[in-house]
Amino acid sequence: MNQNMDMSTTPVSFSSPKTTRSSSAPDGAAPLVVNADKQGKPIIVVNNLHKRYQIGRTFVHALRGVSLEVLPGEFVAVRGPSGSGKSTFMNLIGCLDHPTQGTYWLSGKQVSQLSSQELARVRNRLIGFVFQGFNLLSRASALSNVEMPMIYAGLRKELRQRRARQALQLVGLGARMNHKPSELSGGQQQRVAIARALVNSPSLLLADEPTGNLDSRTSVEVIAILQALNQHGLTIVLVTHEPDIAEYASRQITFRDGRLVRDEPVANPRDAQAEWAIIAKQNIDEAL
Amino acid sequence: MNTTTYQGKDAPSSASTSTSGPSPQRHSILPPLKKRDFDRAGKLGSNISIALEALWANRLRSLLTTLGIFIGVAAVIAALIMTQGVGANITNTISSLGTNIITISPGAGSSSRGFRPPTESSGTTLSLTPGDAQAVAKIAHVTAESPIISVTEQVVYGNQNWNTRVQGVSTSFQTIQNWTIVQGGWFSSSDYQSARSVALLGQTVYHQLFDASGMNPIGQNIRIRDQVYRVVGILDTKGNGADDVVFVPFSTAMDRIKNSTYIDQILVQVDDSGNIDSVQGEITTLLEQRHRIPKGNADDFNLTNSNQLLQTANQFTSLLTYLLVGIAAISLAVGGIGIMNIMIVSVTERTREIGIRISIGAQREDIRSQFLIEALILSLIGGILGMFIGFLLGFAITNLLAIPFVVTVTTLLMPFVISAAIGVIFGLYPAARAARLDPIEALRSL
C-alpha cells in the first residue's frame, strides 16, 4: 500500500517553461537552460567508428564502421540483440573508451582524440549517465549521490546542495533527499540516478537499459521522466533490448553484428506520461 | 498527492504537442554552470570528506587497521622517552660528579689520548702511589686532588650490619664530588693527618645501620673489619647507588684497611673545564716520568674525564635508542603492510564505486587521492592515538624507573612524520591500483 502511494507521486514535477521563468527569482537562479547547441548543429557526429578488442587470443571486432548523427533534442533508442555492439557503441559515445578507428564529435568537440583526463572532463560536464543497475553509492544519501558529479566538477558546497535539491525535486523526490538507496524503491533509485545525470547540465543523457531492473509499471514511470526531460530540450540516447521501451523514443536505430542496420524515426512515439497517469490512477484505485 | 500527480502530468504532456520533433528547446531543467560557480581549491576538502565518509562506513575495520600503526608509534615513542630518560639520568649523574674532574686509574693505558673503558685488569694492575697524588697536586690549574682507596667491607653497628663500599678519601674529596652533609661534618685535616678512625656514612648505609635503633648517628661507634670508627657526618643523598658508601680519611684507610702502598684512583679537580685537556697532558707527562715509562711504551695508568664519560654514555644511549626504535619500527612496518592490505581489499571491494565515480567524471587523480587520503587518515589516526599512549607508557616507565621524563620536539613531531610517511608509502600502491581501473570493467563488476 505504501509502495502504491509512493508510485503515485509525480514522476516529473517541474512546471511548464513559462512558470519556471517567472518564478526563477529566488537565490539568483537564472532561467535554467540545457546546454543546448546551436540550432540544427548535430550534438553527436560519429564517422566510421571501429572498435576491436582482444580477449585472450581472440580478436573481437565489436564495431565495424558505424556512422551516425544525432541532432539536439532527439530521443534516440538504440536497439539490437546482445553482442550486436550496442554496448560498445554506448561506451564510446559515453567517452568511457577510445575507438580503434573513426572519429566522434560531441557538441562540436572531437572527443576521439582526447586524453583520458580530458575525457573525464567531458563525461563530467557534457554527459549524464543512467545505468541499468542504478549505480548509486549505497552508503550515501540520495542528496550526496546527486552531489557527486558536481564534486568532481569542482563546485562550491552551497551550490552543489542547492542544485542537488533542485534536481531531486525535479524528479519528484524532494521529500526523500536524505534517504539511502536501500530505503528507496527501484523506480525511486533510478530517479535519483536521473537527477545525478542532470546536475551538471549535460548536453546528452545516456541511458543504458534504464528499465532493465524495473517492472513494467515503474519502467513507464522512469521513461515518462526521460520523455519529459526530452521535451524540455535534453538530447537522450537510450539503449534497450525491449521493443516496447524503444517505442517511446522519437527515433530508433538498430545494431547487428557491429553495424548499424536500421535507422528510422518513430512515427507516433508512445506517450509515457499519459500512460503513467493512467497507471497512477489504477494504483490509487487499487490502494483504495 | 493525487492533485500533484495530475498537475505534474499535465504540464509536460501538453508541452509535448507543441515541441515534437528535434528542434532544440531553450527550456529550463537546471541552470547552466558558469565560471564563477567553480572552486577547484575546494576539491581537496571534498576528497577528504569522501575519504572520511568511506572510513566511517567501515568503522570497525578502520579502527582495527589503525591498530598496527597505533602500536608501532606507541612503542617507538615509549622507547624514545625511556632511552632519553636513561640518557638524561646518566648525564645528570656524571655532571653531579663535576664536569672538570680527571680520574687517574691504574691499568694498561695507551700513550694516545682516547678513552678506553676500564677493563677488569685496571683494578689489579697496581701502579699509582700516594706520591703520584701529591705530585699531581702541584700541576698548574689543579685546584684539588684526592687519592682514593676502595674496598668492600662489612660495616657493623650494634646488631645491624651492612655490606658496603668503604673508600678512603682526602678532605678535598667533598668539594671535588659536590657532597653535601645533612648532619655532622666532613672529617677535618687534623683527622686526616693523624689518621683518626672517623667515618662519614652515605644515606643507604645510615638507614641500614641506624633506622632500627633510631639513635642519633653522630658520635656513635661503628665497626669496619673489627676496627672501631666514630661517625662524624651523614651525607645527603645523591641517588643511583652513590649513597651506598662509607668515607674514611685516606690516611686511615692506607694504614688500617688496605695495607698497601698502592692506591686505586686519583681524582683531580681542574679550575676550569677548558683546561682539562692541557692538565691531562701534563699529568700524563708527569706520571710517565715518575713511572719511568720509555717513550712509545704503553702507560700503566689511565686518564678519564667526565666529558669522555658523557660521550661514552651518549654513545650507549643512542645505541640503546637505535635498538629499541629498530624493534618498534618492525611493528610499524607490519602496521603499514596492514594498511596496504586493507586498502587493497577496499579497492577491490569498491571497484564498482570507482567505476561509478570515473563514469560521472572523476579524474584518475581524484580516485588516487581519495584512496591515498584514506590511507593517510588511517595511519595518522593511528599515529596520534599511538603518540598519546606512547607518552602515557613512557611516563609510567620513567616514573617506575625513577628517571627523568624527557619530551623533545623529536618525540612530538615523530609520530606525525612516521605515520604520514607510512600512509603515503603503503597507500600509494592501492591508490594507484584504484586509479588504473578501467571504468567499463569496473562498472561491470559486482
Q: To 5 degrees, how large is the angle CA B140–CA B141–CA B142?
A: 90
> Would B334 be classed as within a structural domain?
yes
All residues at 6 or more sequence positions from A83 whose CB lies less than 8 Å from its CB, including other chains? A257
d(CA B390, CA B399): 14
Centroid of chain to Cα B418: 17
Check whether residue B81 and residue B226 sit in a common domain: no
**Max CA pair span of chain A:** 62
Check whether residue B216 and residue B327 sit in a common domain: no
pLDDT of residue B403: 87
A213 three-state secondary structure = coil
What residues of chain B lie within 8 A of the CB of A32, using their CB? 27-32
Check whether residue B158 and residue B273 sit in a common domain: yes
Residue of B nearest to A267 (CA): B21
Residue of B nearest to A275 (CA): B9
Based on C-alpha coordinates, what's the Rg of chain A?
A: 19
Judge whether B2 is closer than 8 Å to chain A, CB to CB. yes
pLDDT of residue B232: 92
d(CA A189, CA A210): 11
Query: Is B23 close to A152, i.e. CB distance below 8 A?
Result: no
> Would B117 be classed as within a structural domain?
no
pLDDT tens figures, B294-337:
887 888 888 888 777 888 888 888 898 889 888 888 888 889 99
Contact map slice: B 57-86 vs A, CB within 8 A: 57
Residue of A nearest to B439 (CA): A96
Higher-confidence position of B406 and A32: B406
Q: What is the DSSP string of A60-114?
A: EEEEEEEEEEE-TT-EEEEE--TTSSHHHHHHHHTTSS--SEEEEEETTEEGGG-
Which residues form the domain of B360?
43-89+314-444
Check whether residue B201 and residue B332 sit in a common domain: no
CA atoms within 13 A on the CB side of A33: 12
CB B115 within 8 A of CB B308: yes
The beta-carbon neighbor of B362 closest among A94, A152, A234 is A152
Q: What spatial distance separates the first Cα and last Cα of chain A, rounded to whole Å?
A: 9
State which of B290, B323, B348 marks the end of a domain. Answer: B290
CA atoms within 13 A on the CB side of A192: 30
Centroid of chain to Cα B155: 38
d(CA B435, CA B416): 26
d(CA A5, CA B230): 106
Is the ipTM above a cut-off of 0.90? no
> Would B245 be classed as within a structural domain?
yes
State which of B290, B325, B348 marks the end of a domain. Answer: B290
Residue found under cell 547547441: A37
Check whether residue B154 and residue B211 sit in a common domain: yes
Contact map slice: B 401-430 vs A, CB within 8 A: none
Judge whether A199 is closer than 8 Å to chain B, CB to CB. yes
Check whether residue B277 and residue B426 sit in a common domain: no
DSSP percent split of chain A into helix, strand, coil, nearest 5: 40, 25, 35
Per DSSP (E only), the strands in B271-379 are 301-305
Centroid of chain to Cα B251: 43
Number of domains, chain B: 2
d(CA A193, CA A138): 12
Q: How far is A73 from chain B (nearest CA, A)?
A: 5
Check whether residue B75 and residue B166 sit in a common domain: no
Q: How many CB pairs under 8 A join A and B?
A: 206
The beta-carbon neighbor of B9 closest among A34, A72, A277 is A277
pLDDT of residue A12: 52
Q: How far is A277 from chain B (nearest CA, A)?
A: 7
Query: Is A233 close to B27, i.e. CB distance below 8 A?
Result: yes
Query: Is the confidence at residue B368, as pLDDT, over 60?
Result: yes
DSSP state of A28: G
Query: Is the confidence at residue B36, as pLDDT, over 80?
Result: no
pLDDT of residue B298: 81
Task: Quote the percentage of chain B above a pLDDT of 90.
Answer: 28
* Identity of residue B86: V
The beta-carbon neighbor of A200 closest among B23, B33, B363 is B33
Residue found under cell 546546454: A35
Judge whether A108 is closer than 8 Å to chain B, CB to CB. no
State which of B255, B290, B325 marks the end of a domain. Answer: B290
CA distances from A72 to A41, A125, A133, A236, B26 (A): 7, 16, 27, 9, 11
Check whether residue B261 and residue B378 sit in a common domain: no
d(CA B330, CA B327): 5
What residues of chain A lie within 8 A of the CB of B48, using their CB? none
Residues of chain A with pLDDT under 50: 1-11, 13-38
> Would B107 be classed as within a structural domain?
no
Least confident of A43-47, A280-284, B85-89, B399-403: A280-284
> Would B307 be classed as within a structural domain?
no
Q: Which candidate in B1, B2, B5 is best for mutational testing of the A interface (most A CBs within 10 A)?
A: B5
Query: Is A148 close to B357, i.e. CB distance below 8 A?
Result: yes
What residues of chain A lie within 8 A of the CB of B446, using their CB? none
Query: Is B32 close to A35, i.e. CB distance below 8 A?
Result: yes
> Would B305 be classed as within a structural domain?
no
pTM above 0.90, yes or no: no
Residues in chain B: 446
Query: Is A123 close to B364, i.e. CB distance below 8 A?
Result: no
Check whether residue B334 and residue B282 sit in a common domain: no
Judge whether B356 is closer than 8 Å to chain A, CB to CB. yes
DSSP state of B172: T
What residues of chain A lie within 8 A of the CB of B33, using their CB? 125, 153, 155, 200-201
Check whether residue B234 and residue B376 sit in a common domain: no
Query: Is the confidence at residue B10, as pLDDT, over 80?
Result: no
What residues of chain B lie within 8 A of the CB of A166, using their CB? 30
Query: Is A14 close to B28, i.e. CB distance below 8 A?
Result: yes
d(CA A160, CA A138): 20
Contact map slice: A 140-169 vs B, CB within 8 A: 140, 148-149, 151-157, 159, 163, 166-167
pLDDT of residue B27: 43
d(CA A43, CA A107): 5
CA distances from A180 to A96, A137, A176, B246 (A): 27, 9, 9, 81
B9 three-state secondary structure = helix
> What is the per-residue burial (b if ≥16 Cβ within 10 Å, else e) of B270-300?
beeeeebeebbebbbeebbebeebeeeeebb
Judge whether B35 is closer than 8 Å to chain A, CB to CB. no
Query: Is A231 close to B16, i.e. CB distance below 8 A?
Result: yes
Check whether residue B53 and residue B172 sit in a common domain: no
> What is the per-residue burial (b if ≥16 Cβ within 10 Å, else e) of B138-161?
ebebbebbbbbbbbebebbbeeee
Judge whether A287 is closer than 8 Å to chain B, CB to CB. no
Q: At what angle do helices B306-349 and B351-359 cross, to 10 degrees?
A: 80
Query: Is the confidence at residue B2, as pLDDT, over 80?
Result: no
Query: Is B439 close to A117, i.e. CB distance below 8 A?
Result: no
All residues at 6 or more sequence positions from A270 whose CB lies less than 8 Å from its CB, including other chains? A244, A247, A248
Judge whether A3 is closer than 8 Å to chain B, CB to CB. no
CB A51 within 8 A of CB A92: yes
Judge whether A228 is closer than 8 Å to chain B, CB to CB. yes
Neighbouring-strand partners of residue B201: B234, B246
Q: To 5 degrees, how large is the angle CA B371–CA B372–CA B377?
A: 95
Query: Is B352 close to A135, i.e. CB distance below 8 A?
Result: yes
Counting other chains too, the contacts that B133-141 makes at CB distance below 8 Å and 24 or more residues apart are B133/B263, B133/B266, B135/B286, B135/B290, B136/B104, B136/B266, B136/B268, B136/B283, B136/B286, B136/B287, B139/B279, B139/B282, B139/B283, B139/B286, B140/B279, B140/B282, B141/B270, B141/B271, B141/B272, B141/B275, B141/B278, B141/B279
Nearest one of A183, A197, A253, A264 to A225, comparing CA atoms: A197
pLDDT tens figures, B264-301:
889 898 888 778 888 888 888 898 888 888 887 888 88
Surface-to-core class of residue A100, CB atoms within 10 Å of its CB (0-12 exposed, 13-18 middle, 19+ buried) = middle
Would you tell me how many other CB atoms lie within 10 Å of the CB of residue A246? 22
The beta-carbon neighbor of B443 closest among A35, A135, A156 is A135
Q: At what angle do helices B306-349 and B364-401 cross, to 10 degrees?
A: 140
The beta-carbon neighbor of A91 closest among B37, B361, B440 is B440
d(CA B65, CA B73): 14
pLDDT band of residue B446 (cuts 50, 70, 90) is low
pLDDT of residue A11: 47
Residue found under cell 658496603: B164
> Would B37 be classed as within a structural domain?
no
Ramachandran assignment for A267, one of left (phi > 0), alpha (psi -120 to 50 degrees), beta (any other): alpha
pLDDT tens figures, B234-254:
999 887 678 899 999 998 888
Would you tell me how many other CB atoms lie within 10 Å of the CB of residue A178? 10
Pairing of strands A58-70, A44-55: antiparallel
> Would B373 be classed as within a structural domain?
yes
Check whether residue B155 and residue B268 sit in a common domain: yes
Neighbouring-strand partners of residue A238: A77, A207
Judge whether B18 is closer than 8 Å to chain A, CB to CB. no
pLDDT band of residue B389 (cuts 50, 70, 90) is very high
